[in-house]
Amino acid sequence: MPSANDPRRALRRNIYAVLQMAKAAATWAPGINAISQRRSRGSDNHLYCYAVWLRHLCLAHKNGLCTAPPEHVAELGPGDSLGVGIAALISGAESYRAFDVVAYANTDRNLAVFDGLVDLFARRADIPGAEAFPRMKPLLENYAFPHEVLTAAHMERNMAPARIARLRRAVETGDASVIGYTAPWRGQSLGGAEIDMIISQAVLEYVDDIAGVHAELSHWLKPSGFVSHEIDFKCHGFANEWDGHWRYSNAVWKFMKGRRLYTINREPYSVHERALTTAGMQIVGAQFHPQPSNLQRTDLTSSLAHLTEQDLTIASACIQARKF
């Protein structure tokens, strides 16, 4: 494999960057933005929501954060449906609140996902693994239905026809005591200390005010409540190498972001780690998904000099942290 400084590799990198700049320029054309970010993709599929919810729940159980599904669950950035939260409700949560900057979800899609999820829980289906979602993280050691956290007695109660009918009606009518959806969310605060678990999947790489969001989420949690965040630090197509976005100067990066509704923030793992600690959270589990770095420290743009050696190889991570 040619070295990172190989001239042909550098040329390919530059051509790719120019194409991305052209794409960014197109986001200024009227209507293009609205078309390209009309869907978030992922949570419109019930299997996807089942996999995301159960993977976070199983990890939380393994990390000693819960012995059963938490009662009050919140999610940041649910995307196309509220399916992850609906999965939480079906598995025993009493309430779920979602917050997104764009209102992607709608009642029809939520109901379709609801019905698909009920079927999966009724069959105690295994958690979809790499064959269904090759790139999905976090990973588990075991993808069998998690009877240790969703016990037979617990599931019998949860799946009682009257409870399922009540939940479906709550999704249909938007009963705020069971299911809440704030979108567009512009950082509005909850009263505080209401939530047991906050989940996010592929969201925190987009938020601009990382310290502010972690502080706000910590404020929402009850004492001993916890967060579970899967964060993707890769370039999201802005470069032809997973870490190529960390090379771009601030000016190039600003141009590349164009006029999209939201774009990745380019911040690495250590920034979240610091922000969580400052927000009064204790990290109890961090599942890293490493990739070899393509960068020398001298390749980093100066505003990203704070990236640690470890950051350079963390392509994504699932961070679970408890309020203390």
Ligand X SMILES: C[S@@+](CC[C@H](N)C(=O)[O-])C[C@H]1O[C@@H](n2cnc3c(N)ncnc32)[C@H](O)[C@@H]1O
User: By CB under 6 A, is residue 201 in contact with ligand X?
Assistant: yes
Rounded Cα gap, residues 70 and 195, in angstroms: 9
H helices present in 123-282, as ranges: 152-158, 161-173, 210-220, 250-257, 269-278
Q: How far is the CB of 7 from ligand X (least distance, A)?
A: 35
User: By CB under 6 A, is residue 185 in contact with ligand X?
Assistant: yes
Tell me if residue 255 falls in helix, strand or coil.
Answer: helix
- Other Cβ atoms less than 10 A from the Cβ of 263: the count is 20
Number of residues that bind ligand X (CB under 6 A): 19
Q: How far is the CB of 55 from ligand X (least distance, A)?
A: 11
Stretch near ligand X under the rule CB under 6 A, chosen from 14-22, 70-78, 85-93, 280-288: 70-78
Q: How far is the CB of 42 from ligand X (least distance, A)?
A: 3
Stretch near ligand X under the rule CB under 6 A, chosen from 14-22, 37-45, 157-165, 283-291: 37-45
User: By CB under 6 A, is residue 40 in contact with ligand X?
Assistant: yes
Give the tokens for residue 59: 């990890």
Q: In the complex with ligand X, which residue's Cβ is closer, 48 or 155?
A: 48
Q: Which of 145, 255, 262, 288 binds ligand X (CB under 6 A)?
A: 262
Interface positions, 202-221, toward ligand X (CB under 6 A) = 202-203, 206-207
Rounded Cα gap, residues 231 and 159, in angstroms: 32
Q: Is 192 left (phi over 0), alpha (psi -120 to 50) or beta?
A: left
Q: In the complex with ligand X, which residue's Cβ is closer, 23 or 236?
A: 236
- Pick from 47, 110, 121, 111: nearest CA to 80: 110
Omega of the bond leading into 292 within 30 degrees of 0 (cis): no
Residues that bind ligand X (CB under 6 A): 40, 42-43, 76-79, 99-102, 104, 185, 201-203, 206-207, 262
